[in-house]
Chain A
Amino acid sequence: MAAAARFFIRGANSKISISGVGTGGQSSFGAALLKLSPGCSPSSKTQRRHAAHFTFQPDPVPTEYGSTQKMNLFQSITSALDNTLATDPTAVIFGEDVAFGGVFRCTVGLRDKYGKDRVFNTPLCEQGIVGFGIGAAVAGATAIAEIQFADYIFPAFDQIVNEAAKYRYRSGNLFDCGNLTIRAPWGCVGHGSLYHSQSPEAFFAHCPGIKIVIPRSPVQAKGLLLSCIADKNPCIFFEPKILYRAAVEQVPVESYTIPLSQAEILQEGSDVTLVTWGTQIHVLKEVANMAQEKLGVSCEVIDLRTILPWDTETVCKSVVKTGRLLISHEAPITGGFAAEISSTVQEECFLNLEAPISRVCGYDTPFPHIFEPFYIPDKWKCFDAIRRMINY
């Protein structure tokens, strides 16, 4: 597992890693961090290769939370962690390789700023990381665990499903691990193949007791992560790793939260509802434009944001209005979370539906290496599904 991860890092991120090491000595966090983003510029070669299937468009600059700074997604994560460590003396961050800044640079500068007892490496053992985090949370600390890739969260499945999710319930609320947040890089990345690309949210969606959250942008990432950390339930926060450097926007410097279990309507529309989360939001935003231009179809785009417990109300209200629903996700279709959304909407909006609900998802195969462009539910697949749905 370690070998695989390290190989990947050398291949994909050598550039950013080297610049990270170079500035690692400077502990002035924040400003230094932002200067350190040559690898983030969308002009770099690697970036163009990664960005092939979507175009990130920043949201309007949020004004309600004070001054903002230009951040990419990994920097906004660091900023959220920084805010947390600054205000919560019990908060600790741990996982594999987080001490030097993390293989995706999400924890750069935090150990220097807050001490090695608060930001530290663990042995290479995912079940240990989550078990340890649960214990720290049970003892009253705010535990922020990192799993290096969502693909490697499965060794901790038992600790998450049988332990973290059931702690409060089984003890009659005598004990809980509500202060636990598990962060993990998630989703496809262009060349991650089987074990650096997975989207495992549906495995966890079948598990009462945990929350699962996936942001689409730096502003969303920071606000949702801070909500996860503050939430009194164990949360899994999946970070679309392809956006770590590709997504750049103005992010509030101070702490702010974005509520969990609330979907967001990004674009109002009247003919079709498009629901997705994470990177796929940017694909569907483009698809909505294509549908408008090429078909004259008005799409309502919804970012689900929280997978569990999910916002049925926003989605159903939208479908009542549009009468059509397309759900898309990178994960395989069978047993994917689109199935849950689809059957719920079908139950709630049966009289409003004018066409079968459409699911545009990954195929029921492992995530392949060289075939990634054919595997992912890209804009053309989504566009075609809309076309067929409209003509139904």
Chain B
Amino acid sequence: MAAVSSMSRIYGLCFHAVRQTAGLKASRLLQHRAFRVSTTHQQQPFDSSLEKPQFPGASAEFVDQLEFIQPNVISGIPVYRVMDRQGNIINPSQDPQLSKETVLNFYQKMTLLNTMDRILYESQRQGRISFYMTNYGEEGTHIGSAAALELSDMVFGQYREAGVLMYRGFPLDFFMAQCYANADDLGKGRQMPVHYGSRDLNFVTISSPLATQIPQAAGAAYAFKRENMNRAVICYFGEGAASEGDAHAGFNFSATLECPLIFFCRNNGYAISTPTNEQYRGDGIAARGPGYGMLSIRVDGNDVFAVYNATKEARRRAVAENQPFLIEAMTYRIGHHSTSDDSSAYRSVDEVNYWDKQDHPISRLRHYMTARSWWSEDDERSWRKQSRKTVMEAFERAERRLKPNPELLFTDVYNEMTPNLNKQRESLWRHVQQYKEHYPLDLYDK
């Protein structure tokens, strides 16, 4: 009713304006008169301050001063942290009080990932694998968030989240098999290295196109909500990927369709060579969340406990309330973007060194453990040795293994083998039989 009466008030105003223009047709005049008659009943002493906006698109008050809303980028959304750079808990009420075993596990998974990164990075430099992307400096974001989830929660990632798989227990052999694209690779050797996936661990296979996983995560979360099985979805992406249209789509869909979903943005300052000031002009990614009606937080990505706490709470509320949460983990990409990139071409070595030496998620957690006498120099030495040994063993096994049967080039395009593909498969075999010496058949499974 409120809407109706204000509508007629508007018509009344229209009439007053129109009355002053000459040359109106008689029929028009009659119409307007009729309006005036109906509006006189409602005309009371008019107090414009009592008027409330009735627009369906937003719930807000009128304001009689012209004022543009200023973005607040100088003093942005604060960065939540639990421990300082020396590993001291800053506010005891925020200490997640994790057990020694849990913290040791965090540390070992982070360092194991780091060891695997070093070995695979070197192996790419030697031409033994074609491509690699390290996780240097972002180990804390992976382990902290993964630990706060249930194994049944589905993970959609970008490509720099190998630590999540590591935390979930993905065997080193499978990491290596994927990078080597050997016959043990669950992905059948079809994708570039670091495009991991695991059905058993609910880690959806990585694909190269950036941000495409973001609206997909919303769809999966919606399906989980309907199943009502207490499952959530987490979706990782970098701050560069957040510029894609798909990020906008995913944020908006998950909010309007009320999906139990955690968006986890790794803001590491760079998208390949592009610094964040060429990526956006707002207060990072976290500041976009409220625009979509999404609860948002910014955390210290080098503080594994801060990441853990934020993810834990977001997970709890996302499932309980069926709504999405946005976590922006501030961190720094210590390594090159990939093995095809030399980052010294666009940033200083000093800058990289600061994050590597002064503010690293691994060293921070080590400080925390050392202060509690949970970890000693000896522990460190023997763990380094042991982790290096296990990684090297897996590495050597993977390297010795044959590549998958070339037959697998044609399967899984469709669920079934189509007649057309079957024909092409047969044609390849006929060809290869005739020209065997020109193909590396002995490297492949038979």
Contact = CB atoms under 8 A, between A and B. Distances in A.
A136 to B, nearest CB: 4
B199 A174 contact: yes
A57 B195 CA distance: 52
Nearest to A142: B223
Contacts of B53: none
B253 A172 contact: no
A138 B212 contact: no
B127 interface: no
A171 B207 CA distance: 9
B216 interface: yes
Contact of A140 (B214, B223, B419): B223
Interface in B209-266: 209, 212, 214-224, 226-227, 245-246, 248-250, 252-253, 256-257
Contacts of B257: 120, 122, 132
A10 interface: no
A28 interface: no
B249 A135 contact: no
A132 B260 CA distance: 14
Contacts of B414: 168, 209, 211, 233, 309
B289 interface: no
B200 to A, nearest CB: 9
Given A125-B253, A139-B224, A312-B420, A172 B219 contact: no
Contacts of A162: 207, 209, 212
Contacts of B421: 309
B278 interface: no
B149 to A, nearest CB: 16
A311 B91 CA distance: 69
Interface in B184-212: 185-188, 190-191, 195, 197-199, 204-205, 207, 209, 212
Nearest to B199: A174
B223 A136 contact: yes
Contact of A125 (B156, B209, B248, B419): B248
Contacts of A90: 223, 226
Contact of A131 (B190, B250, B411, B419): B250
A255 B257 CA distance: 30
Contacts of A174: 186-187, 197-199, 205
A170 B207 contact: yes
Contacts of B154: 139
B61 interface: no
A112 to B, nearest CB: 18
Given A122-B256, A209-B413, A309-B418, A171 B212 contact: no
A135 B226 contact: no
Contact of A123 (B209, B252, B411): B252
A159 B215 contact: yes
B253 A132 contact: yes
B223 A135 contact: yes
B412 interface: yes
Given A122-B257, A171-B187, A174-B197, A135 B252 contact: no
Contacts, number: 159
B214 A131 contact: yes
B59 interface: no
B190 A127 contact: no
Contacts of A133: 219
Contacts of A143: 219
Contact of B219 (A120, A136, A171, A309): A136
A143 B253 CA distance: 15
A173 B412 contact: yes
A139 B220 contact: yes
The interface size bin for chain B is 35 or more
B415 interface: yes
B325 to A, nearest CB: 17
B216 A132 contact: yes
Interface string A113-138: 00001001011010110111111111
Contacts of B207: 162-163, 166, 170
Contacts of B191: 170
B187 A172 contact: yes
A172 B207 CA distance: 12
Contact of A158 (B197, B212, B220, B413): B212
Nearest to B204: A175
A209 B221 CA distance: 24
Most central of A123, A132, A231 by chain B CB within 10 Å: A132
Contacts of A168: 412-415
Interface in B129-174: 154, 156
B249 A128 contact: yes
Interface string A166-182: 11111111111010000
Given A139-B224, A172-B186, A233-B415, A125 B252 contact: yes
B188 A172 contact: yes
A66 interface: no
A167 B190 CA distance: 11
Most central of B190, B199, B250, B253 by chain A CB within 10 Å: B253
Nearest to A145: B219
A128 B223 contact: no
Contacts of A208: 413
Nearest to B186: A172
Interface in A208-254: 208-209, 211, 231-233
Contacts of B416: 232
Nearest to B224: A139
A128 B251 CA distance: 9
Nearest to B420: A309
B205 A128 contact: no
Contacts of B199: 174-175
A73 interface: no
Given A138-B204, A139-B154, A131 B226 contact: no
Contact of B216 (A140, A155, A163, A312): A163
Contact of B205 (A92, A132, A134, A171): A171
Nearest to B154: A139
A154 B49 CA distance: 48
Nearest to B191: A170
A232 B413 CA distance: 11
Contacts of A158: 209, 212, 246
Given A120-B257, A131-B212, A232 B219 contact: no
A90 B414 CA distance: 22
Contacts of A169: 190, 412-413
A166 B197 CA distance: 14
A168 to B, nearest CB: 5
Interface in B308-336: none
Interface of B: 154, 156, 185-188, 190-191, 195, 197-199, 204-205, 207, 209, 212, 214-224, 226-227, 245-246, 248-250, 252-253, 256-257, 411-416, 418-421
Closest 5 CB pairs of A and B: A135-B219, A131-B215, A128-B249, A135-B216, A171-B205
Interface of A: 90, 92, 117, 120, 122-123, 125, 127-128, 130-141, 143, 155, 158-159, 162-163, 166-176, 178, 208-209, 211, 231-233, 261, 309, 312-313
17 contacts: A92-B223, A122-B253, A128-B252, A132-B215, A135-B219, A138-B220, A139-B154, A155-B245, A159-B215, A163-B209, A167-B205, A169-B190, A170-B187, A174-B186, A209-B414, A233-B415, A309-B421
Given A131-B246, A170-B191, 14 more contacts: A125-B252, A132-B218, A134-B216, A135-B221, A136-B219, A136-B220, A138-B219, A141-B222, A158-B212, A171-B197, A173-B188, A178-B415, A309-B418, A309-B420
